[in-house]
Chain A
């Protein structure tokens, strides 16, 4: 079976999932050494410093926001959603690729995922943390955020469960929790490896506690595997539901440009699209800097590029049908919405979105581009910007000119909007850099399973 697979791969001219000559020992060392042995390098310090610097900006932006209120942002009536919701949707979408990789590709037995699932899951958690901040900060009185949850209170009031905004609270908090569960469960056997590989007492104790005393018993592994596959099974509909519910925040409203049934699939595809772009943006420098080319091979990068191409086309289909339905519906307001997107004050955003999200990624059809890390990196950045623009266009162009021209307005983000946004990029960057040096960035036990030595021969 393995032989046949290799032959097929050779026919397809696909690079292998793992580089040649790996052993149980070498994969363990390669991954644990990054955390336990490698000296702290200038590159890492610089990256962390940038992340921390931007994080400090976030601290300032949030402090000032708490002092002065959301008036420091560019939001106003009619555009009350602005950057906060744009960034919320952008970040949470980025998280989706992590769950797709860890859950959906596991169910489809795509073993190549084993090299990238761990840091993709970390990416999910950090992206959800960044996303979760925005609705909170946007509330005006963030310290009352817990009012969104149903709990018995002296005011005698309860949430209103017919609102998609309440659904969102449930969807996003469940998503954050289950992503953390999936991540931690996956880490436990690797923490045990770290415990045994630890070079000093302090790290041995910390990893030992985190490993819960894992000892690799066959009974434990059987229950572990049963849970792992079930977690994948429940995470799959979960991840699809999260962005569906996010799209309901828009689709349930009667705003032209929002009130469409295509939103759920088109949002989910866009989420995975930007998520894989972020996976590539992270994976390409990490594998280079830490010499992980033997584990995160060109195969992973190429497969990610193909998924981007496919989801990008679904997103393109979404854009096409938004336009088509606006014309076909015969609704003046829907037609005006498209006209306003194309030629209105934010037309430059719309056309850059088409350029970044639809046109540029088409170069991924060329195999040479897919196997060139520099190209992939740049295209992924372009897609990330494109997907951010998509949310900008959806939110701002729909809100700023709705039914009544007398209530039209204009939205311009302020420096505090930008500070909060770049601040969350700092939070994400700092978290990723710390993660790489604190935890095994690649799932060690799952990589061992990919080795030919792991096969039990009769």
Chain B
């Protein structure tokens, strides 16, 4: 750990934990301490961890809903335009706007758009793909995809102070504390 690194080039301080319970407790303690600019990292989703860092609601459901509505409208609109306006065909004397027959492709388009918009939307909200991120500068961090749990308090937090935050983290009894360089 090099203390020669000055604060502006620092991304944050990262504490490593052995269990999900310790991570959640640490995140709660950090939130209670007044830290807001932080993130918890884990090898699998832990609902309590994102609650603890104060992240409650994601926009993903709204994105999926929007995609679905768009898909449904464009699916029905496409069929209506084709079979009623652009290329009307008399099929067994059925009306041009035989809407019950259009339901199946409308439904499929709803699902298709909801799924695709949802996937791209989720990745976009997460800022992925992101080839570089400072947290990967910490060697021990590679265990986040395996069996270790990390809490990173970012240097942009107004309450962040290299010495003070480090002392706070030591009280959480982590396996290790690392400075995260940019």
List residues of A whose CB falls within 8 A of some B CB. 23-25, 28, 150, 156-162, 164, 166-167, 170-171, 174, 177-178, 181-182, 184-185, 189, 192-193, 195-197, 208-209, 212-227, 230-231, 234-235, 237-238, 241, 245, 248, 445-446, 448-449, 453-457
Cross-chain contact B109 with A223 (CB below 8 angstroms):
no
Q: Does B1 contact A (CB under 8 A)?
A: no
The distance from the CB of B96 to the nearest CB of chain A, in whole angstroms, is 10
Q: Does B130 contact A (CB under 8 A)?
A: yes
The interface residues of chain B lying within 8 Å CB-to-CB of A170 are: 104-105, 108-109
Chain B's interface: helix, strand, loop or mixed, by majority? helix
Cross-chain contact A23 with B147 (CB below 8 angstroms):
yes
The distance from the CB of A303 to the nearest CB of chain B, in whole angstroms, is 23
Cross-chain contact B129 with A217 (CB below 8 angstroms):
no
Cross-chain contact B142 with A196 (CB below 8 angstroms):
yes
Cross-chain contact A158 with B87 (CB below 8 angstroms):
yes
* Given A215-B135, A456-B24, A160-B83 contact (CB < 8 Å): yes
Within 8 A of A (CB), among B20-48: 20-21, 24, 27, 39-48
Cross-chain contact A226 with B61 (CB below 8 angstroms):
yes
Within the assembled complex, what's the spacing in Å between the Cα atoms of A174 and B68?
Answer: 13
Within the assembled complex, what's the spacing in Å between the Cα atoms of A276 and B148?
Answer: 36
* Given A177-B115, A189-B145, A223-B91 contact (CB < 8 Å): no
The interface residues of chain B lying within 8 Å CB-to-CB of A158 are: 82-83, 86-87
The interface residues of chain B lying within 8 Å CB-to-CB of A218 are: 27, 39-42, 46, 49-50, 53, 55
The distance from the CB of A234 to the nearest CB of chain B, in whole angstroms, is 5
Cross-chain contact A162 with B111 (CB below 8 angstroms):
no
Cross-chain contact A456 with B46 (CB below 8 angstroms):
yes
Cross-chain contact B87 with A214 (CB below 8 angstroms):
no
The interface residues of chain B lying within 8 Å CB-to-CB of A237 are: 107, 111
Q: Does B162 contact A (CB under 8 A)?
A: no
List residues of B whose CB falls within 8 A of some A CB. 19-21, 24, 27, 39-50, 53, 55, 58-61, 64, 68, 78-79, 82-83, 86-87, 89, 91, 94, 98, 101-102, 104-105, 107-109, 111-112, 114-116, 118-119, 121-123, 125-126, 128-133, 135-136, 141-147
The interface residues of chain B lying within 8 Å CB-to-CB of A223 are: 58-60, 122, 125-126
Most A CB within 10 A of own CB, among B59, B87, B91, B128: B128
Within the assembled complex, what's the spacing in Å between the Cα atoms of A150 and B83?
Answer: 11
Cross-chain contact A157 with B87 (CB below 8 angstroms):
yes
The interface residues of chain A lying within 8 Å CB-to-CB of B79 are: 161
* Given A213-B130, A215-B136, A449-B45, A171-B108 contact (CB < 8 Å): yes
The distance from the CB of A458 to the nearest CB of chain B, in whole angstroms, is 8
Within the assembled complex, what's the spacing in Å between the Cα atoms of A448 and B43?
Answer: 8
**Cβ 8 A contact of A160, one of B55, B89, B126:** B89
Within the assembled complex, what's the spacing in Å between the Cα atoms of A41 and B2?
Answer: 47
Cross-chain contact A25 with B119 (CB below 8 angstroms):
no
Q: Nearest residue in A to B122 (C-beta to C-beta)?
A: A227
Can you report 26 residue pairs joining A to B where beta carbons are below 8 Å apart?
A: A25-B146, A150-B78, A160-B83, A160-B89, A174-B111, A182-B115, A195-B145, A197-B146, A214-B128, A215-B41, A215-B136, A216-B41, A218-B46, A218-B50, A219-B39, A219-B126, A220-B128, A221-B42, A221-B45, A226-B60, A230-B114, A448-B44, A454-B44, A456-B24, A456-B46, A456-B48
Chain A's interface: helix, strand, loop or mixed, by majority? helix
The distance from the CB of A103 to the nearest CB of chain B, in whole angstroms, is 11
Cross-chain contact B128 with A219 (CB below 8 angstroms):
no
**Cβ 8 A contact of B101, one of A28, A157, A161, A178:** A161
Q: Nearest residue in B to A192 (C-beta to C-beta)?
A: B145
Most B CB within 10 A of own CB, among A24, A195, A216, A230: A216
Within the assembled complex, what's the spacing in Å between the Cα atoms of A49 and B135?
Answer: 43
Cross-chain contact B115 with A457 (CB below 8 angstroms):
no
Cross-chain contact A193 with B43 (CB below 8 angstroms):
yes
The distance from the CB of B22 to the nearest CB of chain A, in whole angstroms, is 10
If A221-B42, A227-B119, A241-B104 are given as contacts, then 13 extra A-B residue pairs at C-beta distance below 8 Å, sorted by A number, are A162-B98, A185-B119, A196-B146, A213-B131, A221-B49, A226-B122, A227-B60, A227-B122, A230-B114, A234-B68, A238-B111, A446-B44, A454-B44
**Cβ 8 A contact of B146, one of A28, A215, A222:** A28
Cross-chain contact B105 with A161 (CB below 8 angstroms):
yes
The distance from the CB of A172 to the nearest CB of chain B, in whole angstroms, is 9
The interface residues of chain A lying within 8 Å CB-to-CB of B59 are: 223
Cross-chain contact A193 with B145 (CB below 8 angstroms):
yes
Cross-chain contact A234 with B45 (CB below 8 angstroms):
no
**Cβ 8 A contact of B105, one of A167, A196, A214, A456:** A167
